Amino acid sequence: MNPMIVTSLILAVTMVLFIWNKLPAAVVAVMSLLALYLTGVLTMHEALGGFGDPLIVFIAALLGVGIGLETTGVGTWAGQWLIRHAGQSQKRLIASLLILSAISTALIGMNGAVVAMLPIAVIVCVRTRLEPSQLMMPVSIACLTGAKLTLLGSPVNVIAASAADAAGGAPIRFFEWSIVGLPLFAGSLVIILVLGPLLLPKRSSGSLPADFSQHAHTLVEQYRMAEDVCRLRVRAGSPFIGKTVADIDLSQYPGLSVLGLMDEEDAELGGQAALEGQHLLVRGDAQVVARLANDLHLAIREPYRESQAVTNALFNRTSGLAEVVIPQRSALIGQAVFPGMATHEGDLIVLAVQRSGEDVPGPSTHLLAGDHLLFRGTWEALDKHFSDPQILMVDAPQAVRRQTVALSRGAREALVILAVLVVLLATNVVPAAVATLICVTAMVLTRVIKLSQLYSIDWNTCVLVGALIPLATAMSKTGLAYLLGDYVIQIVGSGGPRAVMAGLFVVAAVLTQVISNNSSALVTVPIAVATARELGVSATPFLIAVALGAGAAHLTPMSTPVNIVTYGPGAYAFGDYWKIGALIVLWSMAVVVFIAPLYWRF
């Protein structure tokens, strides 16, 4: 059978399977490359070559950099700044949130940005008494349109930029995306602010993400941790010097418990040995504390006057609180515990034990099913210990940290590395894949992220892109791309290159409503390149049209993970999206047709 016909059939079946949506998109893409190899359309090297493409390295490393920025609280810091400075005006809060969403997308990518913005959107809804359905979809739109501000915004941008380089057209540099991205986002923002209240549904939601903004204060109040808390400075000659919290024996001081070892700035020191000048945070009767200080050469520092001060000392950038419940059949039932008790490794401390909502009396108790324990330790220790099936975590430390702790350990290094990445990509000193690989390696070496955290990268995206590159290769190799390009020219070619741009935008935009935006771009890119060659013009404007069309996933909730993330919290129905989404798509096409050609000439 003619290779072009075979490729057409494989392309058609692939599109049907994407639309059917019963198989994972990455699996469908792998099936398409296997079909191309088994039918002889592609050689083995051509069929598997997509996984060795620098584009895959670039996307994977870029996602790793995004993880570093997210976990170090850069987005949380920006969100907290917004809440403090945007005031109480509903319009101002919404506009500020959407601008922040777009900027975050430009720096860490749209999937990471929408997850980071969701809890901030919840707080805005509470403050303005706005229904979630009036805000969640605008956040998605801001992330999707903000993705066109920089190269980092979306893998679609990377696909289009790589295709422009390969086609020999004008390159699409890092910040050049903002030429279309700024008007795209600005127009979308105006549409949302002016028409959003009319076109968006007014509906409450039962699946909003938890608001952890007062989480630490709630725990401090629940377990009455603000009562009788003192700081003791370790003096020279104290027998505590060289001891960890786990080694400290306070059995001679009944009712006294150690809450932690801290430096002079109240940063948690975990399982480290105490040094002169550091602080022991203790809780107990003032007279017993005074006796302890006198006996063991400790200086009583000024006590905390307010519960918020205690909260800040216990819950900060380095350390946090975690509440756990002892489930039925747990192996921990019957074990003796007491406030101030440290784990075997000394990196976690039991702050309190409650049973039926009340503190357990006595210096120690044996655990029963249903008991609640409050732990304190470094964030790393909390993550490490609380995957134990013998306990039930009330709120995951990682989720609490990401929403509440701004600019945590490693944030400064993450921001410096991000700045280096932007410079490398903007100046094109090294290839994009090498630049991102350098920066994600730097994040691991500086301990901004752990190597294990890179396993949480969205590898589905990498597999999807790598497996669809061979389909694009087959479309070019067999001439199918040129044939489809001819059809586009026959339909809209008489209107000139701008009309062809509009046609390519429509093709990509229609596809992206039913398949992923990456898949839409990868299928449409070879058609755009072939069409440009047929017309004898630069391929770059056409690739910009494809990129904006593939990113215009505004008409259905299932067209992109960005919409899926806000679908439940916004309590949306399938038909809610097209009302405002159609206007955003039309504005996107206007940007493609009237603005993009002013900079990227034919």
pLDDT above 80 for 409: no
Last residue of a domain, one of 361, 378, 400: 400
Query: Is 409 a member of any domain?
Result: no
| C-alpha 235 chain-centroid distance | 44
Give the 3-state secondary structure percentages of the chain, helix then strand then coil, rounded to 5: 60, 10, 30
The verdict on 204 and 79 lying in the same domain is yes
Show Cβ contacts of residue 24 under 8 Å, excluding neighbours closer than 6 positions: 460
429 pLDDT higher than 70: yes
Same domain, 147 and 253: no
3-state SS of 562-602 is HHHHHHCCCCCCHHHHHHHHHHHHHHHHHHHHHHHHHHCCC
Predicted pLDDT of residue 179: 92
The token duo for 216 is: 């630490």
- Neighbour-count burial for 502-524, b at 16+ CB within 10 Å, e otherwise: bbbbbbbbbbbbbbbbbbbbbbb
Provide the pLDDT for residue 208. 57
Whether 37 shows a pLDDT value over 60: the answer reads: yes
- What is d(CA 599, CA 588) in angstroms, rounded to the nearest whole number? 16
- Number of structural domains (the chain) is 3
State whether 204 and 228 are in the same domain: no
- pLDDT tens for each residue of 308-321: 667 766 777 777 88
Q: How confident is the model at residue 304 (pLDDT cuts 50, 70, 90)?
A: low
Question: Domain end: 168, 189, 210, which one?
Answer: 210
Give the C-alpha separation, 448 to 441, whole Å: 10
Strand pairing partners for 257? 283
Would strands 257-262 and 279-283 be described as parallel, antiparallel, or unpaired? antiparallel
Domain annotation covers residue 581: no
Query: Are residues 205 and 77 located together in one domain of the fold?
Result: yes
Say if 9 falls within a structural domain: no
Per-residue pLDDT at 144: 92
Residue 132 maps to a domain = yes
189 shares its domain with 227: no
199 with 234, same domain: the answer is no
In a domain, residue 112? The reply is yes
Rounded CA separation 317/409 (Å)? 6
**554 lies in a domain?**
no
In percent, how much of the chain has pLDDT > 90?
11
User: Residue 268 is encoded by which pair of tokens?
Assistant: 């948690």
Q: Report the alpha-carbon distance of residue 119 to residue 395 in Å, rounded.
A: 15
- Last residue of a domain, which of 364, 383, 400? 400
At position 545, the amino acid (one-letter code) is A
Q: What is the DSSP letter of 274?
A: P
pLDDT at 571 over 80: no
Find the CATH number of the domain harbouring 275: 3.30.70.1450
Tell me the C-alpha to C-alpha distance, in Å, between residue 588 and each of 172, 189, 349, 509: 18, 12, 55, 10
> pLDDT-based confidence at 306, cuts 50/70/90?
low
d(CA 155, CA 419): 19
pLDDT in tens, 272-289: 778 888 888 887 777 888
Residue 513's Cα: distance from chain center in Å?
Answer: 23
Q: Does the residue 477 lie in any domain?
A: no
Same domain, 191 and 224: no
- Containing domain of residue 370, as a range? 320-336+347-400
Pair (187, 245) in one structural domain: no
**pLDDT tens-digit series, residues 489-543:** 677 766 778 888 888 898 888 878 766 777 778 888 888 888 888 888 888 899 9
Q: What is the pTM of this model?
A: 0.65
CATH code (residue 353):
3.30.70
Is 376 contained in some domain?
yes
pLDDT band at 438 (very low <50, low <70, confident <90, very high): very high
Nearby residues of 316 by Cβ (< 8 Å), 6 or more positions away: 266, 267, 268, 405
Least confident residue range of 8-12, 18-22, 518-522, 532-536:
18-22
The set of residues, in sequence order, having a beta carbon less than 8 Å from that of 72 and lying 6+ positions away, is: 407, 408, 409, 410, 411, 414, 448
Q: What is the pLDDT of residue 145?
A: 92
Q: Determine contact, residues 499/537, Cβ cutoff 8 Å.
A: no
Residues 192, 229 within the same domain:
no
For the range 30-34, what are the long-range contacts, defined as Cβ-Cβ under 8 Å and sequence gap of 24 or more?
30/463, 30/467, 32/467, 32/468, 32/470, 32/471, 33/467, 33/468, 33/470, 33/471
Closest to 589 measured CA to CA, from 494, 491, 504: 504
Residues 299 and 351 in one domain: no
Does residue 50 or residue 88 have the better pLDDT? Answer: 50
Same domain membership, residue 205 and residue 80: yes
- Pair 138, 205 in one domain: yes
